[in-house]
A and B are shown apart, each in its own frame.
Chain A
Amino acid sequence: MNNELLARYEAIVGPDVIEQLRQMAARLKDAQVLHVNSTRYGGGVAEILRSMVPLMEALGLSVRWEVISGDEPFFQVTKSFHNALQGFPIEFTEKAIRTYEENNRKEFEKLEKFLKEADFVFIHDPQPAFLIKFMPERKNKWIWRCHIDLSRPYRPVWRYLRNIVADYDASIFSMPDFTQPLPHPQYIIPPSIDPLTEKNIELPPEEIKSVYDRFGLDPAKPLVLQVSRFDRFKDPVGVIRAALLAMKFLPFQLVYAGGGAADDPEGEIVYQEVLAAAKDQPDIHILYLPPDAHRTINALQRAAQVVLQKSLKEGFGLTVTEALWKYKPVIGGDTGGIRLQVVNHHTGFLVHTPEGAALRIRYLLFYQDKRYEMGQKAHQFVKENFLITRHVRDYLSLMLAFISGNGERIELEAL
């Protein structure tokens, strides 16, 4: 066991949490676990695996993480699948299917040994999902981890993928709202953040303060922040409108810190719209940050008094989790996983309009005591529910359930 890593987590979550993980992992010490996804860097899935794999290993499990490769046409197809599963109609052709299946066949040849050796195979998202079709006689457990909101998929694509994922022994979704009928157990495991990463680790006060100089902010004015891509679903123009409405009543500055995604051609158009909306507004700062600016985002989140996530559509919303972890109440759109995390008057406020967001900005900036109290509650809420340690516990529970017969109540004897 890597006791040093466990000790670092223990300092944050407490010895009881780590002891529970040890107890569970001890019953799985002979199990081999394999995770397969399609990228080692960038994106939420890779971020989670970069934390989950070392923690599982530290607990004594034998864990392997494999990444499938593919050419550009393959990733274009899987990107279009991703969009389709989120509800956008796409052109779904025989050629796309052939590209997808053929790439999976090639990857299967590379990964066959590991896929056969592992006791538990976790396949993340649709990209490598077809691998299962090359192992019809398998004895191990295959679990499909879907990180996508499948609540309203584009049906032709979902019908095709459903026939593939139906072969799995189980699937995992982030929320019940994201599921679709499938002929196997669908586990609900929300994602998590890692308190030890650059994005979430504690920062020295001078590093937090340095963002004021770096970005030309006024240290005398409260800071309201939204961290999001330049994407219409994040409602950046609505955020600016909310800030302008609230600024009529009290002084503060808004920072909208975002970036683009290489696979999102609309990002630049939205960025220009946002710049236009913020034009001639000295207290509105639009920051275009590189994708690896984790520490800068951390500092901005810690410097802010209030954090917004006024999305119109959202997956789980890990930026909300990050802000809550840093003791910030969040004003969030009433959608997706934000609803699971933001509870009115406890960890923030859910809003439906720029006017609603403006009202809550005023409220939280005015009532400092309330803001402090909600921030404390927000941090505790994330500590108990949305850290990587809980995420790993859920995976261990799932594996224990599988090896123990999958009943409603599984009793494990003392070792």
Chain B
Amino acid sequence: MPEEIFFHVKDCALVSISTGIKAYILTELLDHIREVEVGCLYYHFWARQLRPSFDHPEFHNDFAAWVHRELHDWILAERLNLIAPHEFHNLEELREELINTLEERFDESGDLPWRKAEKPFYFVRSQIVVIDTGKRLAHPRELREIIPQMSQGSIFYHFIDARRRTPDRVDDFRAWLSAFSPAYDDLAMRLANIDPYFLTLTEIRDQLAAVFEDYFEENHE
């Protein structure tokens, strides 16, 4: 079997690095968003689930959460919250969308750009260490056994980070299952129904485990 057919189980860990940049008002935030390295955008959009934080689960990126919590502008917070990072081809496009969303709101609200937060927004970037565990899976049914044993880092790498790496911006499991199409299309659809933005990594693992368990149980594999 060629190596590329196997599912390579990987793990990852994230380290956070302070940039020393902070913003108290939205105009500062906008200026910094234009200039910060894209690693910051990755951190504030993608990496929230892999670091010690416990924020409002209804907010999916740090910018939306900060605007909601510190500036109390619900309109901007809701709009920022709708920015789904996997819909963009790269982080520069994501940056552009973020800038546009802020500028549009500035045009609507006179004093908002200068409203001062009590607690600033800290720009942080991340380093992600990806480890190939050496485990290889030859058949989708092996996922049923391995998913419950996966670390949070593995779940993050294969289910969340994958959306930035795969050509169709899907998780690694679906990307791999597509090679067996149409045999596992139903399973792939069930995986697509798990919304990673509302769940912790442990909850995602539990839901993935349940989907694989149910599917292979029903199909007697």
Residue contact B17 to A187, C-beta cutoff 8 Å: yes
Task: From B14, B20, B52, give the contact of A179 (CB < 8 A).
Answer: B20
Contact A16:B149 (CB < 8 A) given known A187-B16, A412-B132, A414-B133: yes
**CB-CB contacts of B33-77 with A at 8 A, as 1s and 0s?**
000010100100000000011110000000000000000000000
Chain B residue numbers with a CB within 8 Å of A394 are: 13, 15
Contact A188:B129 (CB < 8 A) given known A16-B150, A176-B122, A340-B53: no
Task: From A180, A380, A408, give the contact of B126 (CB < 8 A).
Answer: A408
The closest CB in chain A to the CB of B37 belongs to: A408
Residue contact A410 to B130, C-beta cutoff 8 Å: yes
Residue contact A398 to B125, C-beta cutoff 8 Å: no
Q: Can you name 26 A-B residue pairings with CB atoms under 8 Å? A: A16-B152, A20-B153, A23-B11, A27-B131, A176-B16, A180-B20, A182-B20, A185-B17, A188-B15, A343-B55, A347-B54, A384-B200, A385-B54, A386-B52, A394-B15, A397-B13, A397-B129, A398-B15, A400-B129, A408-B37, A408-B125, A408-B126, A408-B128, A410-B127, A412-B130, A413-B132
Cβ of A411 < 8 Å from any Cβ of B?
yes
Shortest B78–chain A CB gap in Å is 20
B88-135 residues at the A interface, CB under 8 angstroms = 122, 124-134
Overall SS of chain B's interface: strand
Cβ of A173 < 8 Å from any Cβ of B?
yes
Cβ of B27 < 8 Å from any Cβ of A?
no
Cβ of A396 < 8 Å from any Cβ of B?
yes
Residue contact A16 to B127, C-beta cutoff 8 Å: no
Q: How large is the interface on A (under 10, 10 to 19, 20 to 34, 35 or more residues)?
A: 35 or more
Task: From B122, B125, B131, give the contact of A177 (CB < 8 A).
Answer: B122
Contact A188:B151 (CB < 8 A) given known A401-B129, A410-B127: no
Cβ of B18 < 8 Å from any Cβ of A?
yes
Cβ of A102 < 8 Å from any Cβ of B?
no
Residue contact B127 to A406, C-beta cutoff 8 Å: yes
Cβ of B207 < 8 Å from any Cβ of A?
no
**CB-CB contacts of B125-157 with A at 8 A, as 1s and 0s?**
111111111100000000000000111111000
- A397-B127, A401-B15 known; 10 other A-B pairs, CB under 8 Å? A16-B149, A16-B154, A20-B154, A380-B202, A397-B14, A409-B128, A410-B130, A412-B129, A412-B131, A413-B132
Contact A410:B128 (CB < 8 A) given known A176-B122, A390-B52, A397-B15: yes
The closest CB in chain B to the CB of A344 belongs to: B56
Shortest A143–chain B CB gap in Å is 12
Chain B residue numbers with a CB within 8 Å of A19 are: 149, 151
Chain A residue numbers with a CB within 8 Å of B20 are: 179-182, 186
Cβ of A381 < 8 Å from any Cβ of B?
yes
Chain B residue numbers with a CB within 8 Å of A111 are: none
Chain A residue numbers with a CB within 8 Å of B132 are: 411-414
Shortest B45–chain A CB gap in Å is 14
Contact A24:B13 (CB < 8 A) given known A176-B18, A380-B202, A386-B52: yes
A381 and B52 CA atoms in complex are apart in Å by 9
Shortest A180–chain B CB gap in Å is 8
A179 and B19 CA atoms in complex are apart in Å by 9
The closest CB in chain B to the CB of A408 belongs to: B39
A385 and B202 CA atoms in complex are apart in Å by 12
Cβ of A393 < 8 Å from any Cβ of B?
yes
Chain A residue numbers with a CB within 8 Å of B152 are: 16, 384
A380 and B122 CA atoms in complex are apart in Å by 26
